[in-house]
């Protein structure tokens, strides 16, 4: 039996990725948790979004799932023995369309109240991609230059779907904005920014629901730093007015340590890859250390690639990632992942971004101490 659970029953089989699968898990203290693999209606390498239902001071749904998949949520809930009307509260782990895409429909169809981090509420009226000023620093300007030189036109169906998602959330009333350490019933909230500025994890009976913060098999995409766009900054609570509080690889890695520090008795229930290729992926919070080590290796790889030869951002990205990973929208994802690492190295003084847009190693390796300090 996986750590943290006394039983795992499959109420409905899904496909090999876990789409439409419904599980009943029993926690150590005998609490039932239902897990629903809500499919995404677009091609996705992350597999379904795992939405969870638990009973603690009322019925809580963690994430309503992807935009366009509301009927799949309703259907999965029914298999788990619930109707949408039974949901007292919905907790949004973060504002990405595969997690809160159905929030508007859920609120319309049920009497549930919306719970999310206060940054989620602050950003609800914006397209997640437009929140940051992408020319805020020289390295961001260089990233934009490379992206526009390799324009592949993100598909118009993507743009249209994203627009529908963004419009559906506008004006949503987030009744309960939560902060790190807040509780409801036996659930405690953890603010874990970095993959997203509003990411929440939830603990309950030696289990941590990690949203996209910690995932088995895959490493969540870290955000880059950069500043808030002018029109957004007025809506940001003053506590979060410094974007480095909520964005960037350093922020993400510190948030990984927060989860790691819960201790290995905590089992992870992730929002993706709980099941994949016909197998369960039950992991403990030690998975957070593996993700930290992944980024530590990548930082090392970047510094080694520069050696004593200042390197451009595009060359660096093409050197680190395989060619097949750099086509379509993936180029932007790869570039921004490299930028996130370079920003951390800049903060620690290990690299500089030169006036001629090259990354130069200063000779120090402070990142090693930073990473070791997180896992030891």
Nearer to Zn ion, 211 or 350 (CB): 211
- For the stretch 34-58, what's the b/e string if a residue is b when 16 or more beta carbons lie within 10 angstroms of its beta carbon? bbbbbbbeeeeebbbbbbbbbbeee
Binds Zn ion by CB under 5 A, chosen from 63, 72, 74, 98: 98
The one segment of 9-17, 128-136, 209-217, 292-300 that binds Zn ion by CB under 5 A? 209-217
Nearer to Zn ion, 253 or 348 (CB): 253
Binds Zn ion by CB under 5 A, chosen from 20, 67, 89, 96: 96
Which DSSP helix (H) or strand (E) runs through 38?
strand 32-38
Min CB(201)–Zn ion separation in Å: 13
- Mask of contacts with Zn ion, 48-87, x by CB under 5 A? ----------------------------------------
Nearer to Zn ion, 72 or 98 (CB): 98
Nearer to Zn ion, 96 or 225 (CB): 96
**Which residues, 6 or more positions from 273, have their beta carbon under 8 angstroms from its beta carbon?**
46, 47, 215, 216, 217, 218, 281
The one segment of 67-75, 157-165, 210-218, 234-242 that binds Zn ion by CB under 5 A? 210-218
User: What are the E-state strand segments in 22-175?
Assistant: 22-27, 32-38, 49-55, 59-62, 89-91, 113-117, 132-133
Burial class from Cβ neighbours inside 10 Å (0-12, 13-18, 19+) for residue 151 reads: exposed
Helices (H), 307-329: 313-320
Across the strands, what pairs with 182?
none
Measured CA to CA in angstroms, residue 221 lies from 147, 286, 338, 344 at distances of 18, 18, 11, 15
Min CB(159)–Zn ion separation in Å: 19
Q: Is 212 in the site for Zn ion (CB under 5 A)?
A: yes
Q: Is 314 in the site for Zn ion (CB under 5 A)?
A: no
The one segment of 17-25, 92-100, 251-259, 324-332 that binds Zn ion by CB under 5 A? 92-100
Binding residue count for Zn ion, defined by CB under 5 A? 3
The one segment of 153-161, 211-219, 301-309, 317-325 that binds Zn ion by CB under 5 A? 211-219
Helices (H), 80-128: 97-100, 103-109, 118-123
For residue 289, what are its two tokens? 């250390």
DSSP state of 40: P
Nearer to Zn ion, 132 or 137 (CB): 132
For residue 129, what are its two tokens? 């991609």
Across the strands, what pairs with 283?
268
For residue 42, what are its two tokens? 């677009």
Q: Is 273 in the site for Zn ion (CB under 5 A)?
A: no
Nearer to Zn ion, 83 or 127 (CB): 127
The one segment of 98-106, 176-184, 276-284, 361-369 that binds Zn ion by CB under 5 A? 98-106
Min CB(278)–Zn ion separation in Å: 21
- Helix, strand, or coil (residue 339): helix
Q: Which residues bind Zn ion (CB under 5 A)?
A: 96, 98, 212
């Amino acid at each position: 039996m996986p750590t943290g659970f006394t039983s795992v029953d499959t109420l409905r089989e899904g496909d090999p990725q876990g789409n439409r699968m419904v599980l009943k898990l029993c926690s150590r203290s005998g609490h039932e948790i239902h897990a629903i693999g809500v499919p995404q209606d677009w091609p996705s390498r992350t597999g379904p979004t795992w939405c969870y239902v638990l009973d603690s001071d009322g019925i809580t749904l963690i994430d309503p799932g992807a935009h366009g998949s509301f009927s799949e949520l309703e259907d999965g809930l029914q298999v788990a023995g619930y109707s949408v009307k039974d949901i007292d509260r919905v907790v949004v782990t973060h504002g990405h369309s595969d997690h809160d895409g159905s929030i508007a429909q859920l609120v319309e169809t049920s009497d549930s109240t919306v719970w999310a981090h206060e940054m989620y509420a602050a950003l609800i009226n914006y397209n997640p991609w437009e929140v940051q000023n992408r020319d805020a620093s020289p390295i961001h300007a260089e990233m934009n230059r490379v992206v526009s030189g390799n324009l592949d036109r993100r598909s118009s169906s993507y743009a249209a779907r994203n627009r529908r998602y963004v419009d559906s959330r506008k004006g949503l009333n987030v009744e309960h904005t939560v902060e790190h350490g807040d509780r409801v019933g036996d659930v405690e909230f953890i603010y874990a920014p970095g993959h997203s500025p509003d990411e929440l994890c939830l603990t309950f009976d030696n289990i941590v629901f990690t949203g996209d913060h910690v995932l088995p098999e895959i490493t969540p995409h870290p955000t880059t730093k950069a500043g808030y766009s002018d029109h957004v900054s007025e809506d940001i609570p003053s506590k979060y007015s410094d974007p480095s509080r909520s964005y960037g690889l350093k922020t993400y890695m510190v948030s990984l340590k927060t989860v790691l520090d819960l201790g290995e008795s905590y089992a992870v229930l992730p929002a993706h890859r709980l099941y994949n290729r016909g197998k369960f992926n039950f992991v403990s919070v030690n998975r957070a250390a593996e993700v930290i080590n992944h980024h530590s290796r990548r930082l090392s790889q970047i510094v080694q690639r520069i050696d004593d030869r200042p390197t451009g951002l595009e060359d660096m990205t093409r050197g680190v990632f395989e060619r097949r990973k750099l086509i379509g929208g993936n180029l932007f994802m790869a570039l921004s992942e490299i930028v996130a690492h370079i920003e951390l190295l800049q903060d620690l003084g290990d690299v500089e971004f030169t006036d001629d847009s090259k990354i130069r190693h200063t000779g120090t390796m402070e990142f090693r101490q930073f990473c070791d300090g997180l896992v030891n």
